[in-house]
């Protein structure tokens, strides 16, 4: 039977994953398909049963099912356990379905090589921050600060991580020169969301990395502001592509070309913006 893969979510029609995976399948001469599946609210269990029954070889999981999928799987890898969220399901040779989370590692790979003693500041303490912070911990990073609008949520994340420090957004702004990497993980700056900046950047350290996990628009107001300083800015496309590339390699045993995909998607999303 021809292999097939999928991404499940709600909404799903704007997902870039089908384009990305279909392109990589073709590029690597793998005879398989990758399709988007819209799963109605309350129907996740039925959808998973159907995927298994119809011989799906593996699938991605996106909003809002990353947590809810867990009880329907046979096993959860450490990458997903700590975060409590799965974005990739792999079917093993003995027909077991194993959940992984490739989001955080995807983000780290999008940065390129970074010394593990770097000081890292998170803006936001939601699901995305949680995923990246766990992956950073697993990769040996220790100097992590979480600044969030609701301090209790930052403290909760630090507590779960058993690492790092929670600080206020105002304190983050004042101590900004201490951080080598600043990661913007709130939805601010996303299309149709508020356009205010989570913090001002005038105290940013020279040559710091300023990353935003949002990729629509490619240049968020936060990155636009960061580009006024002597820093390296990173948009959210790299994370999207690298999390997909890791999933692809779990399913197919081949590492696809991520750099070319970032270029392609940058072009498609209408930006001539290149990370510096
Ligand atoms: P996800 O879980 O996908 O990362 P989210 O739950 O929509 O995204 O939001 C995550 C983070 O963005 C949270 O830390 C949230 O702050 P609170 O804990 O105070 O809710 C933060 N956030 C969302 N909107 C924000 C805004 N307008 N200003 C500042 N922070 C915001």
Kindly report the backbone phi and psi dihedral angles of residue 89, in degrees, each rounded to the nearest multiple of 5, phi listed first: -115, 130
Q: Which residue has the higher pLDDT, 189 or 160?
A: 160
Q: Is the pLDDT of residue 272 over 70?
A: no
Residue whose CA is closest, atom 15 of ligand 1?
124
State the distance from the centre of ligand 1 to the C-alpha of 64, rounded, in angstroms. Answer: 15
Q: State the chain's maximal CA–CA distance in angstroms.
A: 59
Band of pLDDT at residue 193, cut at 50, 70 and 90: confident
84-143 pLDDT tens trace: 999 999 999 999 999 999 999 999 999 999 999 999 999 999 999 999 999 999 999 999
Is CATH 3.40.50.10860 the right assignment for the domain spanning 3-101+238-268?
A: yes
Kindly report the backbone phi and psi dihedral angles of residue 212, in degrees, each rounded to the nearest multiple of 5, phi listed first: -125, 130
CATH number for the region 105-235 comes to: 3.40.50.720
Query: Rg of the chain over CA atoms, in angstroms?
Result: 19
Q: Is 172 in the pocket of ligand 1 (CB under 6 A)?
A: no
pTM attached to this predicted model: 0.93
CB atoms within 10 A of CB 12: 18
CA–CA separation, 221 and 26 (whole Å): 36
Q: Which of 84, 87, 123, 124 to mutate to test the pocket of ligand 1 (most atoms within 8 A of CB)?
A: 124
Please tell me if the domain spanning 3-101+238-268 has the same topology as the one spanning 105-235: yes
Share of the chain above pLDDT 90, in %: 91
For the chain, give every domain's residue range: 3-101+238-268, 105-235
Q: Is 131 in the pocket of ligand 1 (CB under 6 A)?
A: no
CA–CA separation, 104 and 98 (whole Å): 17
Q: Quick one: average pLDDT of 197-203? A: 96
Residues 6+ apart with CB under 8 A from 151: 166, 168
State the distance from the centre of ligand 1 to the C-alpha of 115, rounded, in angstroms. Answer: 28
Query: Nearest to residue 56, comparing CAs of 40, 39, 41, 68?
Result: 39
As given in the structure block, the two tokens for residue 189 are 């700056």
Q: Is 3 in the pocket of ligand 1 (CB under 6 A)?
A: no
19-72 pLDDT tens trace: 999 999 999 999 999 999 999 999 999 999 999 999 999 999 999 999 999 999
Q: Is 184 in the pocket of ligand 1 (CB under 6 A)?
A: no
69-92 pLDDT tens trace: 999 999 999 989 989 999 999 999
Band of pLDDT at residue 276, cut at 50, 70 and 90: very low
DSSP result, 110-171: HH-S--TT--EEEE--SHHHHHHHHHHHHTT---EEEE-SSHHHHHHHHHHHT-SEEE-HHH
Cis check for the bond before 216: say yes or no (omega within 30 of 0). no
Q: Which of 2, 26, 66, 255 is catalytic?
A: 66
Q: Is residue 66 annotated as part of the catalytic site, yes or no?
A: yes
């Amino acid at each position: 039977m021809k292999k097939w893969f999928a991404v499940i979510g709600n909404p799903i029609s704007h997902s870039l994953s089908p384009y990305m995976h279909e392109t990589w399948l073709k590029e690597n001469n793998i005879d398989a398909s990758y399709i988007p599946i819209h799963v109605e609210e309350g129907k996740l269990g039925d959808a998973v049963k159907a995927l298994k029954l119809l011989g799906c070889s593996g699938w991605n999981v996106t909003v809002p099912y990353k947590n809810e999928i867990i009880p329907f799987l046979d096993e959860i890898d450490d990458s997903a356990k700590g975060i409590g969220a799965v974005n990739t399901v792999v079917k093993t040779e003995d027909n077991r379905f194993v959940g992984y989370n490739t989001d955080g590692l995807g983000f780290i790979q999008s940065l390129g090589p970074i010394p593990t003693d770097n000081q890292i500041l998170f803006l936001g303490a939601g699901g995305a921050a949680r995923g990246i912070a766990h992956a950073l911990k697993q990769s040996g990073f220790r100097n992590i600060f979480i600044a969030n609008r609701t301090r209790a949520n930052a403290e909760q994340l630090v507590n779960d991580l058993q690492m790092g420090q929670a600080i206020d957004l105002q304190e983050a702004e004042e101590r900004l020169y201490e951080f080598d990497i600043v990661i913007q993980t709130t939805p601010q700056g996303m299309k149709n969301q508020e356009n205010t900046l989570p913090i001002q950047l005038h105290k940013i350290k020279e040559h710091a990395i300023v990353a935003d996990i949002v990729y629509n628009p490619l240049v968020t107001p936060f990155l636009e502001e960061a580009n006024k300083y002597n820093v390296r800015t990173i948009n959210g496309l790299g994370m999207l592509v690298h999390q997909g590339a890791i999933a692809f390699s779990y399913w197919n045993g081949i590492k696809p070309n991520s750099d070319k995909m970032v270029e392609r998607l940058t072009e498609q999303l209408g930006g001539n913006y290149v990370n510096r």
